[in-house]
Amino acid sequence: MTAMIRLVIALAAGTLFGFGLSVAQMIDPAKVLNFLDITGNWDPSLAFVMAGGLLVNALLTPLILQRSKPLFAEFFRLPGKLEVDSRIIMGGIIFGIGWGIAGYCPGPMITSLSFANMDILTVFAAFVVGTLISRWVIAHRNPS
């Protein structure tokens, strides 16, 4: 399979994912912030979107992994590390804080770039800077 076909397949999958986020209104940061506001204007719709995603994943992943290889790749790319360590914990905490402050996680944030307003551009810039800083820290940390 050529690189161009893989790129088109990845683009189609990403577009479908972004469309699903838009239909579920998960690109609206107010939906996320209202989900987190359990004592005020609580909106449970995010929980239903998450539950739907988890259900699809739980049902289809075992079936997909029964195949000898993916449909559009040479092999499955599964995580090699299975234990929870401080890096996973800290990453989750930082992700949660950023999600709670901005109301965006990476998928909806990238989908929302189509609005091209200053709010989303600021959030995206912070995401890029944070990603670059974390990669630099990981690359330069002491291995001991």
Query: For 63-111, what is each residue's pLDDT tens digit?
Result: 999 999 988 888 898 888 889 998 889 888 988 888 888 888 888 888 8
Euclidean distance between CA atoms 112 and 130, whole angstroms: 18
Q: What are 4-46's pLDDT values in tens digits?
A: 888 999 999 989 988 888 888 888 888 888 988 889 889 999 8
This prediction has a pTM of 0.70
Q: Which of these, 95, 97, 108, 87, lies nearest to 29 by C-alpha position?
A: 108
